[in-house]
Amino acid sequence: MFKQPHIRAFLFAIQFLTRIPIPVIGAPNANDQSRAALYYPAIGLLIGVLMISIASLLVHSEPLLVSAIVVVFWVAITGALHIDGLADSADAWLGGTGDVNKTHAILKDPLLGAAGSTAIACILIIKYSALYALIKHNNYMIIMLAPIIGRAMILLLFCSTDYVRKQGLAAAVIEGLNGRAALVGLIITLLVAVWFSFIGVIVVLLVFLALRNMMIKRLGGCTGDTAGASVEITEAGWLLAAALI
């Protein structure tokens, strides 16, 4: 039933990026993982549709409460995957004190430090506040685009930045990634996003470039944790810029 490579890739992408239960399809091989990466923005679309569906069902409820519910759902459906990367990256950047080896050691440490806890709190506060402003004015398309853009930025990062761990989780993904297909998906995502918030897209790209520069200067490239951090920060940047404008 799931022998078609693109169906398998889509299901693996759902399995990796969400906690949505899917049929057992076995362990992914390197080709499955690379193909699955191309569906990351599509998984973002799925998450976004579910988010705005919840907001729409609660349209007559207090926007403050709806925003809280949407944020909690957002974290839950992703299994806090990218938030974990954000927390690890924050701890590593602060605790690594500019040392590459120390930064890598902290990135691999499962314990949560003060910087990571603060980063989680800050990102959730920003998302919650921006969601409140957008839900209050029924700007659901802006909300739906946030998880799509965040996952599209993973593709841009993987296409433009070396992966520094040869045995890391994303090593096989990047090695076999179809860069042309990834960039086509990225361009389509950004063109759609520009229609709703040109300034928001500019902010996302500037934030992405700043994060990528930090990764290269400190690590010489990206890791799975820093990729996760980029998702959280670009999502928040998009929501914040769109809400402010």
CA–CA distance, 125 with 68 (Å, rounded to integer): 10
- β-sheet bridge partners, residue 222: 163
**Closest to 172 (Cα-Cα) out of 42, 24, 14, 9:** 9
Q: Which helix (H) or strand (E) holds 91?
A: helix 81-95
Which DSSP letter does residue 222 get?
B
**3-state secondary structure at position 2:** coil
**pTM score, whole prediction:** 0.92
pLDDT, averaged across the chain: 89
Give pLDDT tens digits for 155-191. Answer: 999 888 888 877 666 666 777 777 788 888 889 999 9
Which range has the top average pLDDT, 3-17, 87-101, 160-174? Answer: 87-101
Q: How far is CA 143 from the centre of its chain?
A: 14
| pLDDT the model gives residue 196 | 92
Non-local (6+) Cβ contacts of 207 within 8 A are: 233, 234, 237
At 137 the pLDDT is: 92
Q: Of 177, 234, 227, give the one whose Cα is nearest residue 203.
A: 234
pLDDT surpassing 80 at residue 73:
yes
Under the banding of pLDDT at 50, 70 and 90, the label for residue 46 is very high
Strand residue runs (E) in 31-77: none
Amino acid at 242: A
Q: Could you give the CA distance from residue 143 to residue 132 in angstroms, rounded to a whole number?
A: 10
pLDDT at 1: 46
Per-residue pLDDT at 34 = 79
The contacts of residue 167 (CB under 8 Å, 6+ apart) are: none
Contacts of 231 (CB under 8 A, 6+ apart): 82, 85, 150, 151, 153, 154
User: What DSSP designation does 4 have?
Assistant: S
Contact 142, 224 (CB under 8 A): no
User: What is the C-alpha separation between 183 and 16, in angstroms, rounded?
Assistant: 21
Question: For every residue of 102-143, which 3-state class applies, written as one string?
Answer: HHHHHHHCCCCCHHHHHHHHHHHHHHHHHHHHHHHCCCHHHH
Q: For residue 244, is pLDDT > 50?
A: yes
Render pLDDT for 127-165 as a digit per residue (tens, 0 to 9).
999 999 999 999 999 999 999 999 999 999 988 888 887
Judge contact between 56 and 45, C-beta under 8 A: no
